[in-house]
Amino acid sequence: MASVQHYLTLSNILDHSNVELSCEFKGHESDVNFVRFHPSQPLLFSCSGDKTCRVWNVPEECATKEQAASKTDNRVLVGHTRYINSCVVSSLHNSLFTASTDGTIRVWDLTKLECTGVIKGHKGVVQCLTLSPDQTRLVSGSGDSTIKVWDPVKKTCLKTLAAHDSTVVYCSFSHDGLAFVSASSDGKIIAWDSTLSRGLTNESAHPEVGTNICIFSPLVYPNSYFVATAGNDNLFKLWSLTYSRGGKAKFKHMWTVDAHGSSVYSLAFSPDGSILVSGGGDSFVMFWNVRTKEQLLTLHAHEKYVTTVAFSPDSRYLATGAYDGIVKLWKLAFNNPNFELDKTESMKLYPNVPNNFICPISLQLMTDPVLIADGTTYDRSSILLWLASSRRGAISPLSNLELPNTTLTPNHQLRGEIEHFLKNQ
């Protein structure tokens, strides 16, 4: 039945010959603090110390390094009165949320590019934002040492969490929505229960100097996750985070990398979880094989501190931002569009997993199931990578027939069933 050719992990096909500068986005008048791709549209958002968030169109074709174009045609979101530190996109509500040093969160309609609301409640800088995978909870971290959970539609505060003793610099949901971690400027990271009611365990990840970021790997295992952190000690670390019955959780240190000559400000996992990218104050961006800790390549990406890095959902691009006020878009060009993967990993981890929970492409348990025009549900990252790597256009992985469109429709019912299955493992 299936004509699918399964993926190699990106770490097996990435080298210097496969990375080239697509374009530079210029227009910010101060440092770029954060970049984020839209989950389903060819848009990139950048937040800056110039009090603006800019919306950039991601180009379809990649220029060579010698022909890299500087793009200044963009849309500018103006309203904050101080630095914008972070942003997050809600595709379900067609909204963008931005967090600022002015102590507010602004809500933007992505069709009209207009501010539709201002969320207030923190007593200090709003440093970070994240959205639960089902897009029902917006979470912010602040200089007032608290985390607040908001209803993104009603713009009301659902609860306030007070477990940190210093600025909450980053917070993140796992891809299945069942785990949550936060990090603070005193170096501490905290793992929370799935309802964000209480902290279950904490770890001094980057003591004294402070933690800058904490993110989940997209790979999900039974009650277990990988978390990456980075700090001002020039290090970044990989941790396992395991939840057990009885409301307990435990961090376990896996490995540490000391390669940047300065603070490590940013990290990003590739959508398949095989690559971790780090950006530091030494102006370098480095690519790492997560499994082997092997350094795959290094880019002298900017002339000043690299403050933010992000993969596009289809793995075709990496965006970087820096203190030089420039956003750069790097094209990740793969040599071989036909990939292979260890395909039985999810089956070994979940021997009783229902077949419809497994992505037909990667043969892994789905974390973000989406329905496409061939009537089949795939994991979002897998189908996006499939479509991006196909040389024949939009072709169904199962039938080999042309797709009438490439619309991805979230399969909320199946996602709920998968989350229920995981809770009972």
- Count CB neighbours of 12 within 10 A: 15
Q: Are 175 and 367 in contact (CB under 8 A)?
A: yes
Q: Residues 281-315: pLDDT tens digits? A: 999 999 998 888 889 899 998 999 999 999 998 88
pLDDT at position 16: 58
Pair of tokens at residue 335? 């040599």
d(CA 120, CA 86): 16
- Contact (Cβ atoms closer than 8 angstroms) between residue 315 and residue 270: yes
- pLDDT value at residue 65: 39
> Checking DSSP bridges between strand 377-379 and strand 409-410, what pairing results, if any?
unpaired
Spatial separation of the C-alpha atoms in residues 100 and 98, rounded to whole Å: 7
Q: What residue type is 45 in one-letter code?
A: F
The pTM of this model reads: 0.78
Q: 46 burial class (0-12, 13-18, 19+ CB within 10 angstroms)?
A: buried
CA-to-CA distance for 352 and 347, rounded, in angstroms? 8
Cα separation, 215 vs 180, in Å, equals 9
Q: Could you read off the pLDDT tens digit of each residue along the chain, which spans 425 residues?
A: 233 333 334 555 455 567 889 899 999 999 999 999 998 889 999 999 999 999 999 875 434 334 445 565 569 999 999 999 999 999 888 999 999 999 999 999 999 999 999 999 999 999 999 999 889 999 999 999 999 999 999 999 999 999 899 999 999 999 888 899 999 999 999 999 989 999 999 999 999 899 999 999 987 777 889 999 999 999 999 999 999 888 899 999 999 999 999 999 999 999 878 899 999 999 999 999 888 888 989 999 899 999 999 999 888 899 999 999 999 999 987 543 333 334 344 555 556 778 788 888 877 788 889 988 888 899 887 888 777 666 556 788 876 778 888 888 888 888 888 888 777 76
Distances (CA, A) of 321 to 237, 269, 324, 330: 22, 16, 8, 11
What integer pLDDT is reported at residue 350 of this predicted model?
57
pLDDT at 64: 39
Distance separating alpha carbons of residues 232 and 119, to the nearest angstrom: 30
Rg of the chain over Cα atoms, rounded to whole angstroms, equals 20
Q: What is the pLDDT of residue 343?
A: 37
